[in-house]
């Protein structure tokens, strides 16, 4: 929020909006903040001819509504900035965009640079990491980092996917194919050293750090179906959550996880479970479309 000119701020249903400028012109885009809100991608909820768009919902399942974007392409992988003012997303044509929390002020940060996906913010909100095949053949991804305005692009890891920034800003978790399957690794940004966190003949995917940095949640095929697991950051103490699903993301307090789970007709749903495996709940059960890649705002 701008330091000058604001007189009153109010929080309503997870959206913080300053009431007006001192000159009476109304709130600016910087005044809008997503607070303790889940954002996800979904297709056809509003009869948009198959275009996947963004939606927001409260953690208790209330106040489901779209985030209008005005883009003529599908979007996915929403990631909410640490201050709640912006959303990074990937588009169907393979670019990383950033929009304000209400969907306005769209900026294409990676136009024409290959197929880019899985954006994630640094803890201080100054950088974005993502996967891209710009230096490889189609579908073979590397991990990149850029400034939040799209400048300063640099490659961090060759061959990685689905990056996630650690809360202390020192490491990126990601997945990488190896001789056994696909596993979770972490790279220390200061020196480029890589540590393997999971292993075995499994396909592990979409790691996400807990807010205190002590654990990661990830999806894996190590059970009879794709299921959610939690692992300590040093690779010890892997435990399975009693749900099938993937693409997990922690709540701001570290007590719950939002994730994709299977619906009754084979579609994907936004679901929540406590980190101890209790309290499962399925959100947004009002349609038969799939809801994808939920992200929980600070």
**pLDDT at residue 23, as a whole number:** 29
Distance CA 171, CA 96 (A): 21
What domains does the chain contain, in order, with CATH numbers? 1-31 (no CATH), 41-296 (2.120.10.30)
pTM equals 0.87
Averages of pLDDT over runs of 10 residues in the chain (298 residues) are: 29 38 38 90 72 92 91 89 97 94 95 91 98 87 97 95 97 94 96 96 96 97 90 97 94 96 83 96 82 93
| pLDDT at site 26 | 36
DSSP 296: E
User: What residues form DSSP beta bridges with 75?
Assistant: 91
Pairing of strands 227-232, 281-283: unpaired
Q: At a CB cut-off of 8 Å and minimum separation 6, what does 265 contact?
A: 288
């Amino acid at each position: 929020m701008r330091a000058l000119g604001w007189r009153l701020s109010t929080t309503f249903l997870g959206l913080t909006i300053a009431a007006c400028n001192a000159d009476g012109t109304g709130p600016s885009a910087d005044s809008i903040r997503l607070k303790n809100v889940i954002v996800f991608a979904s297709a056809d909820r509003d009869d948009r001819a198959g275009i996947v768009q963004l939606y927001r919902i409260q953690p208790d399942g209330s106040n489901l509504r779209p985030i209008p974007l005005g883009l003529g392409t599908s979007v996915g992988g929403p990631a909410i900035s640490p201050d709640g003012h912006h959303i990074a997303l990937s588009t169907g044509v393979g670019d990383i965009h950033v929009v304000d929390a209400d969907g306005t002020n769209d900026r294409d940060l990676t136009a024409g640079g290959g197929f880019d996906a899985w954006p994630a913010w640094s803890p201080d909100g100054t950088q974005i990491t993502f996967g891209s095949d710009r230096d490889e053949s189609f579908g073979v991804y590397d991990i990149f980092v850029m400034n939040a305005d799209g400048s300063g692009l640099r490659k961090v890891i060759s061959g990685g996917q689905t990056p996630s920034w650690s809360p202390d800003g020192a490491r990126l978790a990601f997945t990488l194919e190896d001789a056994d399957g696909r596993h979770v690794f972490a790279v220390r940004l200061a020196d480029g050293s890589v540590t393997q966190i999971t292993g075995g003949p499994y396909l592990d995917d979409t790691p996400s750090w807990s807010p205190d940095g002590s654990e990661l949640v990830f999806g894996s095929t190590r059970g009879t179906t794709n299921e959610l697991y939690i692992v300590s950051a040093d690779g010890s103490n892997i435990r399975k959550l009693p749900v099938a699903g993937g693409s997990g993301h922690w709540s701001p307090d570290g007590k719950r996880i939002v994730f994709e789970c299977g619906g009754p007709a084979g579609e994907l749903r936004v679901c929540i479970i406590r980190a101890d495996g209790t309290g499962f709940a399925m959100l947004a059960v009002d349609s038969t479309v799939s809801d994808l890649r939920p992200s929980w705002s600070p």
